[in-house]
Structure 1
């Protein structure tokens, strides 16, 4: 298993919603254009 070091600034908890052949996770609008990682 790979290990990754994350330098996170904020953690949110939410529900993954189905969309077409994939899924979406809703995040705050202020995160627009940011690089995010979903774990």
Structure 2
């Protein structure tokens, strides 16, 4: 994580989701993924 949302709950939820992403074996990858949270 490059930049925190400032809320540990949202940071943890984003990291948990990203860990479920899959890539082909032996093909490491790096991605910049903007995550936006909106509260109601």
Output the TM-score relative to the length of structure 2.
0.23
Richer in strand (by share): 1
Richer in helix (by share): 2
Pick 1 or 2: higher relative contact order, CA cutoff 8 A, min separation 6: 2
Output the TM-score relative to the length of structure 1.
0.23
